[in-house]
Structure 1
Amino acid sequence: MAKSVQAFLPLIAAIGFLSFLGFAICDETLFIEGKVYCDTCRTAFVTKLSQPIHGAKVALNCRDRAAGDVTYSLEGTTDELGSYKLAVEGDHEEEICEVKLISSPMDGCNEIVPGLDTARVLVTSNNGISELSRYVNSLGFLKAKPLTECAEILKGLGIFPSMIPPIVRQ
């Protein structure tokens, strides 16, 4: 009987190792990715005249669903393409997580519009998505005055000034 138990020891050790390895793989880092742009036409959406903002600051904040207290926070900065990538520690399945604009270094394009400055994101690996990156809608700062070319761009899209939300148009 002792020989039969010894024969199974390597198998038992291998199963234990593989279960530990599976646990380690499931606890991988998630990445939150998005872009920040300058809304040069003050439309509240990206146009072909929009410009990426290099050096913009964003923050990821996760809050407790019941109390609303911040449970996790992380800041990041955009690269020359206006992109950011935040490495998130832990799983935040039971929390409400949002990326929020903090600041823009671009002169003349640093106005934040409440309601257009945040985007929600699911920060969990327990949602059927095998990809480790979670992509967030683009966030934008408003240019102080729209570019003159914007009228033509918007006309080509079939958009009239009255169609643009009053909070962003001037």
Structure 2
Amino acid sequence: MAKTLSTVAALIATAVLCFSALVEVAQATEQKLVVDGKVYCDTCRVKFETSLSEAVEGAGVKLICRDRVSEETKLEMEAETDKSGHYKFEVEGDHAEEICEVHLVKSPREDCNEIVKGWNSARILLTIDVGVVDSIRHANALGFMKKEALEKCGGVLQAMGFLPIN
């Protein structure tokens, strides 16, 4: 009788474990991930943010996920930045088998709308299977180039250690 009870208990425990694994898989495919990032105006034309960089309100960005093998587009979404230059995408499902990137599309600023190839996108992992518990994924900041660098840039870059002190 004791053997039968332990066998039944083992079967129940196994069933509970299998059921909880199925629930986790179902939740993973239904989970929403949030991609957030920032778009700035590179006022010094140095391809990174400085204290003189400015947020770009109303900039267009696009999230594109492509299959790793076939390169077929699996997801494409567009967003616009808010007053502080931030954008958000709410993405459903897991995109572990895809390469996902946020791309600059357009700037509303005539004085700061140059897109530099190679610096116009940020790759982002959109899967829950990367050891990150949080559902928010932060993309690297993206910048449009100002037509001409500000005069103050030399001093800022010097203070940052990028230019020699005269």
What band does the TM-score fall into relative to the shorter chain?
Answer: 0.7 to 0.9
Structure 1 CA distance for aligned equivalents of residues 75 and 45 of structure 2: 32
- TM-score (structure 2 length as normaliser): 0.82
* Structure 1 stretches lacking a partner, 5+ long: 1-10, 162-170
Q: Deviations over 1:111-131 (max 9, x none)?
A: 000000011000011111110
CA offset digits 1:86-144 (Å, max 9, x no partner): 00122110011100000010120000000000110000111111100001100000000
In 2, Cα distance between equivalents of 1:23 and 1:126? 11
Partner amino acid, structure 2, of 1:31:
V
Counterpart of 1:82 (choices 71, 82, 85) is 85
Runs of 4+ in 1 over 2 A off after TM superposition: 18-27
- Calculate percent identity across the aligned residue pairs: 45
Report the count of equivalent residues: 148
Corresponding residue for residue 164 of structure 1: none
Name the structure 2 match of 1:35: 38
2:113 aligns with: 110
Q: 2:131 aligns with which of 105, 120, 128?
A: 128
The residue that corresponds to 1:44 in the other structure is 47
1:50 to partner: Cα distance:
0.1
| Aligned counterpart, 2:4 | none
Report the TM-score when normalising by structure 1: 0.80
Query: Where does the alignment leave 5 or more consecutive residues of structure 2 unmatched?
Result: 1-11
CA RMSD across the alignment: 2.1
